[in-house]
Amino acid sequence: MDSLSKDFSGALKGVYISTYGCQMNVNDTERMFSLLEMINYAPVPSAEQAQLIIINSCSVREKPVHKVVSEVGRYKKLKMKNPDLKIGVAGCVAQQERGRLLKRLPLLDFVFGPDSIDELPEIVQKLDESKKPFHQTRLKNKEPYHIQTLIRNPKVTAFVNITKGCDNFCTFCIVPYTRGRERSRPIEHLLEDIKQLCGRGVKEVTLLGQNVNSYRSPCGAGFAELLKRLAKETPISRIRFTTSHPKDFDEELVSIIAEHRDKIMESIHLPVQSGNDEVLRRMNRGYTRKDYIEKVKIIFEKIPDAVLSTDIIVGFPGESEEQFKDTLSLLDEVPYEGIFAFCYSPRPFTKAALDPNPVPKKIQSERLKELNEKHQAFAFDLVQKYKGKVLDVLVEKRDEKGGLLTGRSSQNKLVYFSGPADLIGQEVPVCIEKAFPQTLYGRKI
């Protein structure tokens, strides 16, 4: 990459973006690179080489503003050396803090929210004219959601946004405030978008939304219909999606996944958050433990080799030891292959942040440890079922360390095996020899 900076002629400028948070932010960063390329900016591998630095921030947990403040602080020397260097903050902290960030951080030149990404070329051009720092953080809550996926050099896998925003207002979550109201892209646009990605060599798409199950095209088509049409009408080989919300995950959807098993992958991320009904009610999740387990039962009835993963919050305000035990015991009933567990952290604007009974940090950490240890103990046994099995692996790249090829199986497991580089981009049968909770090792057959 060093040669890239050497190649810079007068016309090309370097941009460095640091990205935090979810896949949506990862996809937004790629979108920013594509848009900036149109005005002659090229990515550089370090902030030192950049004329433009963007921090694409996340505010879902723990001291997000602090993280932005300290990263901007690290760029102070660069700005002193080069007064023409521009520094901006994007993403969910930008939307949460808006103009306040500019007041707090005099080094910043601009702040822009998730709904202003497509205006980035104009924003950057405005930087040259504007003498004063500014923010562009209007949420476009009423406008239709018409975008096209922008990827500079597509690999075999790609993210595709299908919805933006969220209307669920779980009481712990800041996302409805930072990403605004939920909007869905028209189904015809998505079909066309994904056909074009296929034409550029993409074999697998991951459909992104905060709650993909509540996708609704302006023509009325829902998520199950979208999956069905993508499977039938586009040449895409593999379809994944995230995140599903248990309250909207219905039997029709399970049937469609089962019917199109050749294309729709069987790994389902279904965040439960808690195994206790009272906590779920106070989280405003819209389902009970029984509803959730019932849905899991239907999934396994129709898709016997489904692979489930989940998100869990421990130490939600007022969570008692007994209530936490209900979350622990859920692990005995649902065979999760992966869990992403977090200590509750109060977020601005949210209802739970006002709760007068926070769980002390020490207890939160103990619960988190206990939960992860319990899962760890059986996750290893759970994945031994893959030993001796032949899995189809879509090869993505060569691992830098060991020289092995890596890719994902339909179960979304990371698989390593040795083979020639021309297998990259192909689906390859691999017989699994060693299995760990996160990764599998095998041999090409």
Interface with ligand F3S, residue 91, by CB under 6 A: yes
223 binds, among ligand SAH, ligand SF4, ligand F3S, none (CB under 5 to 8 A by kind): none
169 binds, among ligand SF4, ligand F3S, ligand SAH, none (CB under 5 to 8 A by kind): ligand SF4
CA 200/CA 194 separation, integer angstroms: 10
Interface with ligand SAH, residue 313, by CB under 6 A: yes
- The structure tokens listed for 441 are 């090792």
CB 266 within 8 A of CB 411: yes
CA 271/CA 168 separation, integer angstroms: 14
Taking CB under 6 A as the criterion, the residue among 17, 24, 55, 236 binding ligand F3S is 24
Alpha helices in 200-336 (DSSP H): 223-233, 251-259, 277-282, 289-302, 321-333
CB 137 within 8 A of CB 177: no
Taking CB under 6 A as the criterion, the residue among 29, 137, 206, 211 binding ligand SAH is 211
Taking CB under 6 A as the criterion, the residue among 13, 86, 164, 179 binding ligand F3S is 179
CB 408 within 8 A of CB 267: no
162 binds, among ligand SAH, ligand SF4, ligand F3S, none (CB under 5 to 8 A by kind): none
- The structure tokens listed for 40 are 């002659």
Stretch that binds ligand SAH, among 80-88, 222-230, 252-260, 344-352 (CB under 6 A): 344-352
- The structure tokens listed for 289 are 């433990």
Cite the beta strand spans of 82-186 per DSSP E.
86-90, 110-112, 134-136, 157-161, 163-164, 183-184
Please list the helix, strand and coil fractions of the chain in percent, rounded to the nearest 5, in that order.
40, 20, 40
Cite the beta strand spans of 293-438 per DSSP E.
307-314, 338-343, 390-398, 405-409, 414-417, 427-435
24 binds, among ligand SAH, ligand F3S, ligand SF4, none (CB under 5 to 8 A by kind): ligand F3S
Size of the site for ligand F3S (CB under 6 A): 13
Stretch that binds ligand SAH, among 171-179, 230-238, 286-294, 436-444 (CB under 6 A): 171-179
Cβ 340 to ligand SAH shortest distance, Å: 7
The contact set with ligand F3S (CB under 6 A) reads 21-22, 24-25, 58-60, 91-92, 174-175, 178-179
The contact set with ligand SAH (CB under 6 A) reads 60-61, 172-173, 175, 210-211, 243, 245, 271, 273, 311, 313, 342, 344-345, 347
